[in-house]
Amino acid sequence: MTAAKLTVGLIYGGKSGEHEVSLQTAFSVMNALDYGKYNAVPVYIDKQGRWNMGETHTAAPASLEALQLNGGESATAEAMSVLWRKLSGQESLIDVLFPLLHGTYGEDGTIQGLFEMMDMPYVGAGVLASSAGMDKAIMKSLFAQAGLPQCKYETFIAAEYEANAHDILGAIEHNLGFPCFVKPANLGSSVGISKAKDRAELERAIQYALRFDLKVVVEEAVDAHEVEVGVLGNELPLASVPGEIVSSSDYYDYDAKYIDGNSRMIIPAEIDSELAENLRELALRAFKAIDGNGLCRADFFVRRSDRAIMINEVNTMPGFTAYSMYPLLWRETGKSYPELLDQLIQLGLDRYNKRHTLQFKRD
């Protein structure tokens, strides 16, 4: 007897700046999925935020373009009526949801909250880890609490800056010096980030970051190797081998990430085993610190001058095509892309089943 096939709802596209990347991820995942075990239902969120649910696939799609579904005016309502079925006592068409979205409305806990309300199992981080991993200021306080080494930083909100720019600029100059990195607290893909070399550039960089968020983080610039570790699991997560990003430009900005195609990955990173072990251990601690589930990629700086390790950030939905860092780190660690998909789906189901037995009110 063969076990019943699971139907996986793949959610991709989305309103964030990473829409195209997400489409590529969906195409990659749908090509790697083992259709002996799974059916796939594509759920495409277009750039306006409208949902479009496709037919159940029992084989890989013909092309990436075929994934850009357009179900017309009523498509969102139709998709929702299928996704919310469980709450009306019907059997769900979909067994588990797999969000393949990055950035705002995908990686920040909002869609995870929607899945919770639908009572649907889903792959990856829950609401808390997603939003904590998205907000660089919150993430840094959690890391500090967990004793993880990080670079020096300052953070403030727009209203504080309007009221007291002079003191804030003074504190940055005094505590961090130049150059420094100025970032909107909530975003990704290096959008809104600038490197400031002096006071005038700092002021411009802050104004720029404030276009993207009401909260800003400023960090000392660290001259470092950028080394990343994959984490996989729920309560007892595992860490992959570390890999290094060698950026094509001064730092890993949007062009270096997505446009010029000249950045490189070195997998495994060419570092000694002690440093590698330290990074893996810190990656697991970072995963715990944000209450991670399923997967995350922990990104570190290894300072060139003294090899000091500092955590930069965690990404709860890291780049996930077959050629992205996270899957390649696991491939090097001995887990193929299809195996990774299997495990992530299983981890999502396990988490749902475990939490399902919990009470949320008194008897």
Ligand X SMILES: Nc1ncnc2c1ncn2[C@@H]1O[C@H](COP(=O)(O)OP(=O)(O)O)[C@@H](O)[C@H]1O
Binding residues for ligand X (CB under 6 A): 151, 181, 183, 188-190, 193, 219, 221-222, 226, 247, 251-252, 299, 312-313
User: What is the distance between the alpha carbons of residues 225 and 292, in angstroms, rounded to a whole number?
Assistant: 25
Task: Pick the closer one to ligand X by CB: 78 or 201.
Answer: 201
Q: Which two tokens stand for residue 278?
A: 């330290």
Show Cβ contacts of residue 133 under 8 Å, excluding neighbours closer than 6 positions. Answer: 107, 125, 139, 290, 292, 296, 313, 314, 315, 316
Residue number with the smallest Cβ distance to ligand X? 252
CB of 302 to ligand X, least distance (A): 11
Q: Which two tokens stand for residue 327?
A: 């899957």
User: What is the distance between the alpha carbons of residues 286 and 299, in angstroms, rounded to a whole number?
Assistant: 10
User: What is the distance between the alpha carbons of residues 139 and 133, in angstroms, rounded to a whole number?
Assistant: 6
DSSP secondary structure string for all residues of 247-316:
-SSSS--HIIIIIS---EEESS-S--HHHHHHHHHHHHHHHHHTT--EEEEEEEEEETTT--EEEEEEES
Question: Which 3 state secondary structure label does DSSP give 188?
Answer: coil
Task: Pick the closer one to ligand X by CB: 170 or 177.
Answer: 177
User: What is the distance between the alpha carbons of residues 18 and 257, in angstroms, rounded to a whole number?
Assistant: 12
Task: Pick the closer one to ligand X by CB: 30 or 279.
Answer: 279
Task: Pick the closer one to ligand X by CB: 154 or 313.
Answer: 313
Task: Pick the closer one to ligand X by CB: 12 or 181.
Answer: 181
Task: Pick the closer one to ligand X by CB: 218 or 284.
Answer: 218
Matching residue, tokens 């990347």: 21
CB of 220 to ligand X, least distance (A): 6
CB of 136 to ligand X, least distance (A): 7
Task: Pick the closer one to ligand X by CB: 251 or 352.
Answer: 251
CB of 188 to ligand X, least distance (A): 4
CB of 349 to ligand X, least distance (A): 29
Task: Pick the closer one to ligand X by CB: 216 or 222.
Answer: 222
Label residue 247 exposed, middle or buried (CB < 10 Å: 0-12, 13-18, 19+): middle
User: What is the distance between the alpha carbons of residues 131 and 110, in angstroms, rounded to a whole number?
Assistant: 8
CB of 301 to ligand X, least distance (A): 6
CB of 190 to ligand X, least distance (A): 4
Q: Are 133 and 290 in contact (CB under 8 A)?
A: yes
Label residue 15 exposed, middle or buried (CB < 10 Å: 0-12, 13-18, 19+): middle
Task: Pick the closer one to ligand X by CB: 169 or 221.
Answer: 221
CB of 328 to ligand X, least distance (A): 17
CB of 112 to ligand X, least distance (A): 18
Please provide residue 162's backbone torsions phi and psi, each rounded to the nearest 5 degrees.
-60, -40
